[in-house]
Amino acid sequence: MKLADIKTWVTVPPGGIGGSFWVIVKLTTDDGIEGIGECYGIPVSGDVACAMVEDTFQRFIAGEDPHNVEAMFRRVYSAGFTQRPDVSMMAVFSGIEMAVWDILGKAHDVPVYQLLGGKFHDRIRTYTYLYPKDLGPDAPDVYHDGDAAAERALEYIEMGFTAVKQDPAGPYSFQGGRELSMHELSRSEYSVRRIREAVGDRADILFGSHGQMTTCSAIRLAKRIEPYDPLWFEEPCPPDQMEAIAKVASATSIPVACGERLTTKVEFHQALKAGVSILQPDIGRSGGIWETKKIAVLAELFNAQLAPHIYCGPIAHAAAAQVAFSSPSFLILETIQTEFHDAILHKPLVWEAGYMPVPTEPGLGIELNEEAIEAQPYTTGGRLHLEMCQTVLDSNNQKKITEIE
């Protein structure tokens, strides 16, 4: 059995929930077994991302026995005489590698988690962002309005979720760490307080911040929200400032989480040494299924936990769940579901009262609806998967911040 062919798509989810586009990969072996994967956050246009994926496959993967995952990883990791963590190249490889594991599971007629050490969990806990019910212009602002956030949190709790996440401090500027304004600090504290008052001890609160703060600003915010006992304080400083994140972790009782913008076990090991206690690899960027499994094992050595990040389509979601089911260090999995997430699979992912039951189908346990993804094509040169605010912000510019939001 050899890896023979590749096909890629860029599809655009209506409403942009999960990113402005998804890069999807299908590999086929010389004996006809197909596997699917998904790349996360390659920071170029979708058509360019697909060209990168196809070039990498032809250069390093084509003709390989799919069992040789380690050799394929090392080739791509070292591509161009680099041999170091590279977010873009690892995102390219991650989508290919997911499809390889899907093929391996199908070839051996077992779910992927059975090839990763077997089933450890019978079900896995999931959480959701506080997404608006609708995307109309008059929809409540659940991102920045604490009262609307509390109301939406209760609705998710009634669905069965036991954890909800919000990041009310934004916007997220390209400038790197900055000092939050008093307005942003107060708004964030109010939002967390209102959610805690609404949900009581029925749910954990997860506080995101997307790495926008200086060290001292992050510590100021942490002290404000500590009384409401969040499960974690996510990426308080930029991901290239691991020493700053370490200082925040040592200054707050809230567990610090990070990882959605890190890649490979190298960078996650650095995070663990800095005192990060909850790792959030995005399997479409972290190096794929096998590398994420290694990251989960590293977490065990530091008495830390795994909470995979998901802001993409359902293929990466299914892949992250396979690692979660096999990992003792697993804590909770981010979840995202829309009508389009369901539509691009012939059989949608399953939740039972906020938990995902263990799948029994071989491979990733999902089959791609190619007609559905082709019905939502990408326009060449459109937006990136995710983008940051391109305005420089200061610590007292409430009017400008409000206008940007």
pLDDT, tens only, 173-193: 888 899 999 999 999 999 999
Task: Give the residue with greater pLDDT, 384 vs 194.
Answer: 194
Cβ pair 276, 304 in contact under 8 A: yes
Residues 102, 144 within the same domain: no
pLDDT tens digits for range 394-404: 777 554 544 44
Residues 43, 88 within the same domain: yes
Measured in residues, the chain has a length of 405
Q: Does residue 250 sit in helix, strand or coil?
A: helix
Q: Minimal CA–CA distance to 179: which of 393, 372, 402, 404?
A: 393
Residues 38, 120 within the same domain: no
Residues 224, 298 within the same domain: yes
Distance, in Å, from the CA atom of 214 to the CA atom of 206, rounded to the nearest integer, reads 20
Instruction: Note whether residue 75 is domain-resident.
Output: yes
Residues 134, 95 within the same domain: no
Instruction: Note whether residue 66 is domain-resident.
Output: yes
End of a domain among 76, 110, 144?
110
Cβ pair 65, 31 in contact under 8 A: no
Give residues with Cβ within 8 angstroms of 366, minimum separation 6.
36, 314, 315, 318, 345, 346, 347, 349
- Mean pLDDT along residues 319-345: 97
Task: Give the residue with greater pLDDT, 4 vs 16.
Answer: 4
Farthest-apart Cα atoms in the chain, separation: 63
Element (H, E) at 147: helix 146-159
Q: Minimal CA–CA distance to 95: which of 72, 64, 119?
A: 72
Instruction: Note whether residue 344 is domain-resident.
Output: yes
Identify the pLDDT of residue 133.
83
**What is the rounded average pLDDT for all residues in the chain?**
94
Fill in the amino acid letter for 305.
Q
For the chain, how many structural domains are there in total? 2
Domain of residue 103 covers 3-110
Residues 147, 127 within the same domain: yes
Instruction: Note whether residue 266 is domain-resident.
Output: yes
pTM above 0.85, yes or no: yes
Identify the pLDDT of residue 405.
44
**Is the pLDDT reported for residue 138 higher than 60?**
yes
Identify the pLDDT of residue 397.
57
pLDDT tens digits for range 259-306: 999 999 999 999 999 999 999 999 999 999 999 999 999 999 999 999
Instruction: Note whether residue 375 is domain-resident.
Output: no
Residues 218, 315 within the same domain: yes
End of a domain among 110, 130, 165?
110
Q: Which two tokens stand for residue 357?
A: 């039951």
Identify the pLDDT of residue 76.
98
